[in-house]
Structure 1
Amino acid sequence: MSKTRILTVIVVVAAVVVWLLSGILTDSPSEAVVSLAEAKEIRDAEESAETGVLVRAKRSTAVQQDDTILLRGRIVDRNQATVPARTGGQVIARYVEIGDSVATGDVLCELDPEDRQALVDVAKDALDLAEKEFKSVTTLTERGFEQELDTARKKAQLSASKQALLAAEIELENTKITAPIDGIVDMVHANLGDYVSLGSPCATILVLDPVYAQGFVAEEHIVSLTLGSSATVTLPNGESRDGELSFISKKAEENSRTFRVEIELSNEDFSISSGMSANIEIVVDSTLAHQVPTSVALLDQDGSLGVKLVASNDVVEFRRVSIVREDPDGIWVSGLPERATIITVGQGLVVEGERVTVDFE
């Protein structure tokens, strides 16, 4: 075979091989791989459209929350009595010390009665004589042996004798200085052996049941207060006492333009002392509210505060809210339905009207 024929055969074979390879490369595996990736992406998009973005949410039920005014104040007492001597004399006994509890009628101090008992005895004898004389003259007058003027004179003497005995008994009783009210002895003024005159103080008694938590309210809040409103007073030791708003001043303080208010507190055990500092929380309104984490609250385009909910059809809904109060666990907000599904994670990734898939807490 000549060299020319051999070269021709080689060219023809090469052309056939190239043609065969071109068919295989045209239906390449790479095109098949791309088609599978596109199909998966399409399926994911379809599933996402059906199920929505995954968010975390919690089911919440509103509870009653109080809208309150917070004040810094102090405990005050409304009444105290400095008990005076009602006669003069030397103190022969003192039955109380500072801090003692006393009841009405308890003896605080006792003075030397001196001759007061003798004066009572004399007055009793005089009264006995006057009664006998009056009885005798009355009998004689009825029989016509005495004039009515004599009867009137004896009647006056009898009345005077009764008054004299009463005065002597009171004078003797006044040697015992008694408590006019229930309370706590805040101060003693008379010591054993002291001579006290009429009006000299024996002791000072504080009335500590009830006591009053006193604070001052800014003028913009005073219109929202009403007598009888519930209030809670927290004492320095952390103890809380419930009471009612018992006084609202009708006149503002000259310098601060604030109004004095008082909350009456029961203090039967005298455990609350006058002058203590107190934190006062007065209820001005009550509303249904949900507790949510602070991070849940968002601002809409108008700058209004709100949270995102999941409606019954799994669609995102934005609801404007108002903060009722704050505590260490978050904020309490009003403006939501009584029962709500609140988005707690992913709220920034979804918009109102978007369908979502919910993972409940």
Structure 2
Amino acid sequence: MKLIPVITAILVSAGLYFLVFERERLIGFAQGEDVAVSGSETVQEVIAEANEDAEVATSAVRVVAKHSQAQTIDSAVILRGRTEAARQVTVASETSGLVVSEPLRKGAFVNAGDVMCRLDTGTREASLAEARARLAEAEGRVPEAEANVLEAQARVREAEINLNAAQRLSEDGFASETRLVSAQAAMQSATAGVQRAQSGVASAKAGIESAQAAVASAAREIEKLTISAPFSGLLETDTAELGALMQPGTPCATIIQLAEIKLVGFVPEADVAKVNVGAMAGARLTSGQEVRGRVTFLSRSADELTRTFRVEVTVNNADMAISDGQTAEILIASDGRTAHLIAQSTLTLDDDGALGVRIIGEGNVAKFMPVTLLRDTAEGVWVTDLPESVDIITVGQEFVVDGVEVVPTFTEAKG
């Protein structure tokens, strides 16, 4: 800070004072008289005191300061995003056929289960009848197969009796070895017959299951002819036109659900730690409408290109006043922080370009402290990274540097 202009200003002010208010005494002093000022003081003494004040002014700078106490404020993460329907799906055909139902127009409301498209049955009813006939035939084979098992088991018992008799006669010498071998062979044949009969039962039951599967498949094909709404919502497109040929994958219509709507934004890496699932959030739409909800999703994987994290806020939209795809300014509440409310003009820059304020340190010495800007309001700006209680220079901060002694005048009482 240049000192010569300050000294010059003080001397000029003293000269103007004597010229205006002490003109007669100044003229007497010019004529060699010893004029009294303020009682017993002479003009020379007054000038000497003025010089002393000038010397004091050269060592300390007068500034205006304000005592600031930190306050706890609500913090928020501000995002730019859009609205998105809670649910949206394009309902497509699972089979082929001609549309035989009248189309529904876009914008119509449909309930879950309402028919949107119906296809011609063609020969599917005949296929179902054939499958049911085969099922009945397969079911009729089971009793026959079970009867064959009973018959084979009876033959086993008969063969077992003959074998026992042949063994006893052979032991007593009343039967030949040939008869015993023949009885044993009959026993093995009867046992094999039981196994074949049991296989026949299993085959008959498998035939029933196959026929049941064919019936279910034919019935499912008929069910596919009716395309219904999976949930209640609005038609975003017309349903398929009457007479149109549908193939598997051909869209019938697009339906969206707007009873609840999502606000979708992307949080930068620096702020992702401030957002929690369940936190309160609000948004202002481009129409001026304000809505509130809660955070229901926060991605744990950053986008590879933007390095941001997707966040979703669910909002009630029972009246469907909010549409899908509207631009929204989203504010997500986070934990409160302590900050100081100061005038924007109080902010200054240091030699390195860092944003901060100058405060009055111990011994009435100016000191620069960097700050972080949290929020800009009509009353001023909220800044953090300052002590709990601090004296901030509000006027004159541009004319002092670190270490310069200041003479503060406070705009508010300290305490």
> Considering the TM-score relative to the shorter chain, is it more than 0.5?
yes
Paired residue total = 315
Amino acid paired to 2:368:
R
Structure 2 residue aligned with 1:158: 208
CA distance in 1, matches of 2:274, 2:357: 35
Q: Is 2:148 the counterpart of 1:131? A: no
Q: Is 2:170 the counterpart of 1:170? A: no
CA distance in 2, matches of 1:310, 1:159: 92
Amino acid paired to 1:262:
R
Structure 1 residue aligned with 2:107: 98
Write the deviation string for residues 84-104 of structure 1: whole angstroms up to 9, x where unpaired: 25242442355674364665x
CA distance in 2, matches of 1:71, 1:161: 60
The answer to whether the Cα contact below 8 Å between 1:74 and 1:278 also exists between their aligned partners in 2 is yes
| Alignment counterpart, residue 346 of structure 2, candidates 254, 276, 296 | 296
The answer to whether the Cα contact below 8 Å between 1:67 and 1:287 also exists between their aligned partners in 2 is no
CA distance in 2, matches of 1:95, 1:304: 63
Write the deviation string for residues 311-334 of structure 1: whole angstroms up to 9, x where unpaired: 688x35433223424524333333
The answer to whether the Cα contact below 8 Å between 1:225 and 1:284 also exists between their aligned partners in 2 is no
The SS at the match of 1:248 is coil
Cα shift at 1:223: 6.5
The SS at the match of 1:237 is coil
Matches within 5 A, 1:54-203: 55=64, 57-63=66-72, 80-92=89-101, 97-98=106-107, 100=109, 103=112, 107-113=115-121, 116=124, 120=128, 123-124=131-132, 126-144=134-152, 148=197, 150-179=200-229, 184-191=234-241, 193-199=242-248, 200-203=250-253
The SS at the match of 2:95 is coil
Amino acid paired to 1:336:
L
The structure that is strand-richer by fraction is: 1
Q: Which moved more, 1:119-128 or 1:134-143?
A: 119-128
Write the deviation string for residues 134-181 of structure 1: whole angstroms up to 9, x where unpaired: 134313422339962643553343223212211221122112113457
Structure 1 residue aligned with 2:36: 31
Cα shift at 1:290: 2.1
The answer to whether the Cα contact below 8 Å between 1:80 and 1:207 also exists between their aligned partners in 2 is no
Amino acid paired to 1:354:
V
The answer to whether the Cα contact below 8 Å between 2:263 and 2:315 also exists between their aligned partners in 1 is no
Structure 1 residue aligned with 2:159: none
CA 1:309–1:178 in 2, change beyond 3 Å: closer, same or farther? Answer: same
The answer to whether the Cα contact below 8 Å between 1:73 and 1:280 also exists between their aligned partners in 2 is yes
Q: Is 2:299 the counterpart of 1:249? A: no
Cα shift at 1:340: 2.5
Write the deviation string for residues 237-285 of structure 1: whole angstroms up to 9, x where unpaired: 35466656525232x4xxxxx5675333435647654443345779999
The SS at the match of 2:406 is coil
CA distance in 2, matches of 1:228, 1:354: 40
Structure 1 residue runs without a partner (length 5+): 1-27, 253-257
The SS at the match of 1:161 is helix
The answer to whether the Cα contact below 8 Å between 2:235 and 2:256 also exists between their aligned partners in 1 is yes
CA 1:184–1:93 in 2, change beyond 3 Å: closer, same or farther? Answer: same
Cα shift at 1:112: 4.7
Cα shift at 1:353: 3.6
Amino acid paired to 2:408:
V
CA distance in 2, matches of 1:152, 1:320: 90
The answer to whether the Cα contact below 8 Å between 2:374 and 2:384 also exists between their aligned partners in 1 is no
Cα shift at 1:354: 3.1
The answer to whether the Cα contact below 8 Å between 1:130 and 1:154 also exists between their aligned partners in 2 is yes
CA 1:99–1:212 in 2, change beyond 3 Å: closer, same or farther? Answer: farther
Cα shift at 1:234: 5.2
Matches within 5 A, 1:209-288: 213=264, 224=270, 229=275, 235-238=285-288, 239=290, 243=295, 246=299, 247-250=301-304, 252=305, 262-266=310-314, 269=317, 273-279=323-329, 288=338
Matches within 5 A, 1:8-47: 31=36, 33=38, 35=40
